Structure 1
Amino acid sequence: MEFESLHEVLRTLYDEMIPLCSQMSGVARGIAGLGALFYVAYRVWQSLARAEPIDVYPMLRPFVVGICVMFFPVIVLGTINNVLSPIVTGTHGMLEGQTLDLHKLQAQKDQLEKEALLRNPETAFLTSNEEFDKKLDELGWSPSDIAAMAGMYMERASYNFEKQIRDWFRELVEILFEAAALVIDTIRTFFLIVLSILGPIAFAISVWDGFQSNLTQWISRYVSVYLWLPVADIFSTMLAKIQGLMIEKDIEQLSDPNFIPDGSSTVYIIFMLIGIVGYFTIPTVTGWIVQTGGMGGFSRNINQSARKAGSLAGAGAGAVAGNMAGQVKGELLSKK
């Protein structure tokens, strides 16, 4: 909920910064008015010089752009946001539904794991204080019983320590995953605010000859950045679905009375690391949906960050795999 509140703060920040674009309307009107004057005068003079009839229709363009500049928050931003907001609402609804199902499955899995450990007399005392005390009461004070008690205490302490380490590392990866999503949302909000505040200037400059493409480029960039959030929600929904399928498989295995869970969350952690890397590919994916120009440098920086995150994720996954291999080896040696 803490990260969700931060995302809500970013949305509130965007709504409160939008009115600032009205302060640019005065400067933008001056630029657009001067550009319209040269635009119309040049075409009228050209038609008169060629003794051709004056075509009025092409001259309406600067006046339409001027109206957009005057009422930029309502006409331009209001229209684009109202058209794209259903996409954001739809993808966020998908994510919320999948996350809710994931929480239910995770709670069911935790309960089944606890029941599976309690079913096995060899592991029941690790999770249940009652079973631990009961097993202690069954022992006497002979040297062999005292050694057994010491072994139980050490085994229980080792189990709790390993569980705390796994839970700590899992929480760390989850925090990094949420932080990556917050980074993308923060950059998205910053880009949208800059494009919105300086949007009237971009529209005004597009009135001048040679800068007509500035209008379409601004629209394409704004739409592309706006779609970062829906793409991020789709990516999160996919990860939640993968985790749900993994948990369903674990639940199916836990339904077997002879199955003993090991408490490992290695695969879950690996998918979270993959998710951290995947978040930095969102600008590239949105670039496939809406083609934009002038953002090549940022895309290169994002790709470099993704490669660095991939290296860190690989190192983390290797450390986890090595730790799990060491545990398995230790268990085998202890059994021998």
Structure 2
Amino acid sequence: MIFPSVIALINGVLQPTVSGTAAMVHNSDDAVAALLKAKENAIQQTDAWQMYVGSTGSGDQDRWYKYTHPGEDPSSAGFLDGIGDDIKFAMAKASYNFRNSVKEWMSEVLQVLFAAAALCINTIRTFNLIILAILGPLVFGLSVFDGFQDTLRN
């Protein structure tokens, strides 16, 4: 008859821990979001982002040419050199975009894994409380009989 109060006591002790860790996660999520926003702003100020993505999303080939061919004039290049430079720019832009998409993909995968781990931990906690609520009264009841005293300890 007293076991529901035992379960309430255990849950009362564990609930502040769960609430506290949830609050810490919420605060850390806000901090991570602020850091990601600051990182995004910092990335947009880099030469690589301005060359390969830019404000339009298609990049800036003139800036790329000045960076890769310092001191040369783009108009002095021949027709075949211009085609080669176009291909080099397209490949460099594709490489930059691919690296960024891999980073974003990994970020999404890690966020999903974090959510799955949190769900697993909460599920195990709830399952243990349910098992304790079902088997606890039986163990308390059986522990009064000779030969079953160690069931309470187990």
TM-score interval (norm. to shorter): 0.7 to 0.9
**RMSD after superposition:** 2.8
Match of 2:69 in 1: none
Match of 2:109 in 1: 172
Tell me, yes or no, if structure 1 residue 96 matches structure 2 residue 26. Answer: yes
Match of 1:76 in 2: 6
Match of 1:46 in 2: none
Q: Which of 102, 121, 131 is the matching residue for 1:184?
A: 121
TM-score w.r.t. structure 2 length?
Answer: 0.72
> How is 1:171-320 mapped onto 2 (pairs within 5 angstroms)?
171-215=108-152, 217=153
SS of 1:128's partner is coil
How far residue 96 of structure 1 moved from its aligned partner, in angstroms, is 2.1
Tell me, yes or no, if structure 1 residue 125 matches structure 2 residue 51. Answer: yes
Q: 2:52 touches 2:60 (CA, 8 Å); kept in 1?
A: no
Counterpart amino acid of residue 118 in structure 2 = A
Closer, same or farther in 2 for the Cα pair 1:144/1:161, shift >3 Å? same
Aligned counterparts of 1:123 and 1:91: Cα–Cα separation in 2: 37
Unaligned ranges ≥5, structure 1: 1-66, 218-292, 294-336
Counterpart amino acid of residue 38 in structure 2 = Q
Unaligned ranges ≥5, structure 2: 64-72
Q: 2:143 touches 2:150 (CA, 8 Å); kept in 1?
A: yes
Aligned counterparts of 1:98 and 1:168: Cα–Cα separation in 2: 21
Match of 1:317 in 2: none
Match of 1:64 in 2: none
Match of 1:160 in 2: 97
Aligned counterparts of 1:81 and 1:144: Cα–Cα separation in 2: 73
How far residue 205 of structure 1 moved from its aligned partner, in angstroms, is 0.9
Aligned counterparts of 2:16 and 2:59: Cα–Cα separation in 1: 55
Q: Deviations over 1:136-183 (max 9, x none)?
A: 9x9567322222112111111121122222322332233234323333
Tell me, yes or no, if structure 1 residue 107 matches structure 2 residue 37. Answer: yes
Q: Deviations over 1:162-216 (max 9, x none)?
A: 222232233223323432333333233222211212222112112213433433x
Flag the structure with more relative contact order, 1 or 2, with Cα contacts below 8 A and sequence separation at least 6: 1
Match of 1:9 in 2: none
Aligned residues: 142
How far residue 128 of structure 1 moved from its aligned partner, in angstroms, is 1.0
SS of 2:28's partner is helix
Match of 1:135 in 2: 62
How far residue 123 of structure 1 moved from its aligned partner, in angstroms, is 5.1
> How is 1:3-82 mapped onto 2 (pairs within 5 angstroms)?
67-68=1-2, 72-73=3-4, 75-82=5-12
SS of 1:132's partner is coil
Closer, same or farther in 2 for the Cα pair 1:123/1:147, shift >3 Å? farther
Q: Percent identity?
A: 36
Closer, same or farther in 2 for the Cα pair 1:135/1:102, shift >3 Å? same
TM-score w.r.t. structure 1 length?
Answer: 0.37
